[in-house]
Amino acid sequence: MELFLYQIINHVKEGMPGLSLVDENYGQLENIDQSDTDMYPVTFPAVLIDLQEASWSNLEGKSQKGTVKVNVQLLIDCYDDTHYNSGTMDAIKERSAMVEELHRLLQGYRPKEDGALVRETSKFYTANHGIKVYEMVYSVVATDIIKETQTIAPPHKVMISLKRL
């Protein structure tokens, strides 16, 4: 499963080079105010990606097929005053364009040779310090093939000798 995460992170970084940070989500946003927590600082705009869960069904042998939920958060630090007469309302359009670019990059992307990412839900909210969070959950079908191996005992040595009696 970690290969999924690696490939998605790499795909986003290559597709959106203007992002300041693309990383695995390990609680950076939730711990932004914690001075006693040892974490790399979050720089903006950022995308944090996490594999939420997988639902599996059995295939032949020990192999399984499942649906993996991928949580993607676009974080944008908003200092713009975007009220009607502010003259900076274009910041809303710019944020919307980034969300659209990220979705276009991910929708249909195949991290492995199995399924393609399909967006299931979107949620938008503001976190502490005016950080806008654009959160999308994608699902993707994955197959985990486990090949059975058998241990075969080595053949016994057979000694043949040619003696004349």
**Span between the terminal Cα atoms of the chain, in Å:** 68
**Per-residue pLDDT at 83:** 59
Confidence at residue 50, expressed as pLDDT on a 0 to 100 scale: 97
Q: How many CB atoms lie within 10 A of CB 54?
A: 16
Encode the chain in three state secondary structure: CHHHHHHHHHHHHHHCCCCCEEEECCCCCCCCCCCCCCCCCCCCCEEEEEEEEEEEEECCCCCEEEEEEEEEEEEEECCCCCCCCCCCCHHHHHHHHHHHHHHHHHCCCCCCCCCCCEEEEEEEEEEHHHEEEEEEEEEEEEEECCCCCCCCCCCCCCCCCCCCC
**pLDDT at res. 137:** 99
Strand partners, 134: 74, 124
pLDDT of residue 80: 61
Beta strands 131-144; 46-58: pairing state: unpaired
The domain segmentation of the chain, as residue ranges, is 1-145
Fold of 1-145: STM4215-like (3.30.2000)
Write out the chain's pLDDT in tens, 165 residues. Answer: 678 899 999 999 999 999 999 999 999 998 887 777 777 889 999 999 999 999 999 998 899 999 999 999 999 998 765 556 666 678 888 999 999 999 999 999 999 888 999 999 999 999 988 899 999 999 999 998 888 776 667 777 777 767 766
Q: How many CB atoms lie within 10 A of CB 23?
A: 17
